Structure 1
Amino acid sequence: MSSQSRNLRIDNIKAVLIFLVVFGHLIELHITGDHFLRSVWIFIYSFHMPMFALVSGMLSKASLDDKQSNQLVKNIVIPLFVFEVLYEGIELLLKGSLSVYSGLFAPYWMLWYLMSLLCWRLMLPVFARLQFPVVIAVGLSLLASYSESTGYFLSIARTLSFFPFFLLGWKLGPALFDRTKKRVLLISLPVVAVAIIASFLLKSDFDYRWFYGSYSLNRLGMANMTGTLYQIAQYLASGVIGLACLHLLSRKNWGLATIGQRSIYVFLWHGLALIVLQETGVLNAIFTLDKALTSLTALAVSALIVWLAAHPWCEALTQKLLLKPMSWLLIKQLNGNHPTPSKEVKTETTVAPAEP
């Protein structure tokens, strides 16, 4: 299969994942009283962040020359800086103070993924030279989960927690979905079905904070070997469920490749869309509807946010008004010349966060 076709498959996958991010964030604060939405949310969060990290790894290179360094600045550092200022400015405007994340010295809400992605890319050249990088990354994550010094600070906990999936994606490569055999697909269907059923059968007291990757075992009340075994089981479950979902998604061209190619803009702007919906009361109004209508409306609103943020005009305005000026300013200082910013941010991955 050609590289173009392979990229289309990855872009379709990215489009579905970014939609799940938006939908998951939209319903997240309102799932306690709705068993159906809560179960759907649990299923989504059981795999979508690990798989975003995995896809990011698939599209990353284990090198860090001048070109790669400039790409990291343009595609990760600059969007992180610009939207960190933007979202904190919005918080200051709406609430009269900076967000709680600033006090924790952490990236604002969903922007943790950009911070973690930057760290993953910087660590990749080192881990790529190790004999068993994924195993070592899992070991580091398990050890760090006992520490109270990580958590939200600079997104360290999540960086370590999802790093094994990033490395696994790098090891597997984007051609993974080209060489999938039919029997793998036949296994994927029952795996996804069982995962969905299990999500609906979980008890209401299930502690979903495990999905966030930002809580220590002590805060989760399991700072012991049982907690470590639980983490290992979670790694295995997320990997199996996630890969099964991705294999199913890769079998068909869903016509969403253009959204996947611009998923960075959905990631960057969907937080603002949700803030507007929350502040105007629209979000709360959605969850006062009949349960079936609530679910349908939430899906429709999420789809609208994704479509608008992935629209070419949104890309053009974001580049022209925010990213290109900052790119010109920072890249000029870094390499001492006057490069012309690229027409668009060609990210190595798309992004998306996961927490209330």
Structure 2
Amino acid sequence: MAAFPRTTWTGMTNPTTPKIRNTSIDNIKAVLIFLVVFGHLIEIYVGEDHVLRSIWIFVYSFHMPMFALMSGMFSKASWDDKNATQLISTVLVPLIGFEIIYEATEFALKGTASVYAGLVAPYWMLWYLLSLLCWRLLLPLFSRMQFGVMLALALSLAGSYSEHAGYFLGISRTLIFFPYFLLGWKLGPDIFNVKKKERLLVSAVVVVAALIAAFMLKSDFDYRWFYGSYSLHRLEMANLTGSMYQLLQYAASTVIGLSVLYLLAQKDLRMAQIGKRSIYVLVWHGMALIILQETGVLRAIFKHENTVALAVSVLVSMAITWVCAHEKTEALTKRLILDPLAWLLIPQTVSKPAGLVIDAQDVQKNPVQQEP
């Protein structure tokens, strides 16, 4: 059987980026994927505790927008046979493979298809892979427009008015987060190479202010805005005020997110190995959380007072991230899932690049009933 093409994650590459390992980028990716795990772990319990809720809102204010931005930052605005093959092997193959795995798990646990299948939507966190596939396909077109980011923003705002916007095929999220992806492509990774004390100070002030603001929000704040899967009609704001609120959210998420990324880029956090394999954390952490939920471990964690629950949540999230990003997890995933599926989907006569180090540098809910 032909091996799964050992290629970098082409969803995150930039043709102008030199093929040099940048540990700052890997560290950023590691922190972002950890926040994805942590956010999902505490999500269904945030309504029970003000501290957890505030931290969760702070995390969700920037982590997925910046994930999309990082993907765009390392994406190619070109299209040829090599890029097409890489896109299939590094995005479509994991999407199909893990869609089957998670739906089969849901059926085994509950005897029925998931709520996502009923909505004709990717399973939980897998929406990101489908959206990434769409973004990569659209990038060659939008990159040739003078105001591509503005058009993407306009499409996002217009699409939010549709009563059909929601989970279906992840279309809503694809539109909502596409401007961040395009902005990332425009900015490129070099923005993190500029080290100025003034920028560092401003970034620190922005992050602290955002965290304080999250704690000061009223308990009735509608955090569904952060999901990107709700239409303005469902949010009961299908009017000019709703659009202005969306624009404010775009601005806030961009400023907060870039400030966080800039701070993270200043130090070597020694998490580069996790960042290199962040895709495996993305696709596997849902299974870890399903197991914790079904065994009652999550409920046990949040029976403790908030300080203990928060500390344990961080430790458990770190453990899940580490295990999912381990080189043995990568090897087993490729051998048992990705290799066979790639062999079925990719014609063996097609010349395939060699390495699956899913890597932003070289090229770049569920049984728990959570929101992705």
Match of 1:344 among 353, 356, 360: 356
Q: What is the match of residue 188 of structure 1?
A: 203
Counterpart of 2:22 in 1: which secondary structure? helix
Deviation string for 1:197-216 (max 9, x for gaps)? 00000000000000001100
Stretches of structure 1 lacking an aligned partner (at least 5 in a row): none
1:141 Cα deviation from its structure 2 partner: 0.3
Deviation string for 1:240-274 (max 9, x for gaps)? 00000000000011000110000000011000000
Deviation string for 1:117-156 (max 9, x for gaps)? 0000000000001011111110110000000223111100
Q: Distance in 1 between matches of 2:293 and 2:324?
A: 18
Q: What is the match of residue 149 of structure 1?
A: 164
Counterpart of 2:266 in 1: which secondary structure? coil
Counterpart of 1:80 in 2: which secondary structure? helix
1:77 Cα deviation from its structure 2 partner: 0.2
5 Å-filtered alignment, 1:47-126, equals 47-126=62-141
Match of 2:54 among 39, 50, 68: 39
Q: What is the match of residue 325 of structure 1?
A: 340
1:185 Cα deviation from its structure 2 partner: 1.3
Question: For the Cα contact (< 8 Å) 2:276–2:357, is it kept in 1?
Answer: no
Counterpart of 1:276 in 2: which secondary structure? helix
Q: What is the match of residue 290 of structure 2?
A: 275
Alignment-mate amino acid for residue 68 of structure 1: N
1:289 Cα deviation from its structure 2 partner: 1.3
Deviation string for 1:68-115 (max 9, x for gaps)? 000100010000000000000000000000101111110000000000
Indicate whether 1:292 and 2:307 are aligned.
yes
Q: Distance in 2 between matches of 1:6 and 1:186?
A: 27
Indicate whether 1:140 and 2:155 are aligned.
yes
Counterpart of 1:31 in 2: which secondary structure? helix
1:181 Cα deviation from its structure 2 partner: 2.8
Deviation string for 1:7-37 (max 9, x for gaps)? 2111100000000000000000001111111
Question: For the Cα contact (< 8 Å) 1:75–1:347, is it kept in 2?
Answer: no
Q: Distance in 1 between matches of 2:346 and 2:203?
A: 45
Q: TM-score, normalised by structure 2?
A: 0.91
Q: Distance in 1 between matches of 2:117 and 2:222?
A: 26
Stretches of structure 2 lacking an aligned partner (at least 5 in a row): 1-16
Counterpart of 2:218 in 1: which secondary structure? coil
Question: For the Cα contact (< 8 Å) 1:148–1:216, is it kept in 2?
Answer: yes
Tell me the percent identity: 60
Q: What is the match of residue 319 of structure 2?
A: 304
Indicate whether 1:206 and 2:217 are aligned.
no
Identify which range, 170-179 or 86-95, moves more after superposition: 170-179
1:3 Cα deviation from its structure 2 partner: 5.0
Match of 1:248 among 263, 266, 272: 263
Question: For the Cα contact (< 8 Å) 1:331–1:339, is it kept in 2?
Answer: no
Q: Distance in 1 between matches of 2:325 and 2:217?
A: 35
Alignment-mate amino acid for residue 54 of structure 1: L
Alignment-mate amino acid for residue 257 of structure 1: A
Instruction: Tell which has more relative contact order, 1 or 2 (C-alpha 8 A, sep 6+).
Output: 2
Q: TM-score, normalised by structure 1?
A: 0.95
Alignment-mate amino acid for residue 256 of structure 2: I
Give the aligned CA root-mean-square deviation in angstroms: 1.9
Q: Distance in 2 between matches of 1:72 and 1:234?
A: 30
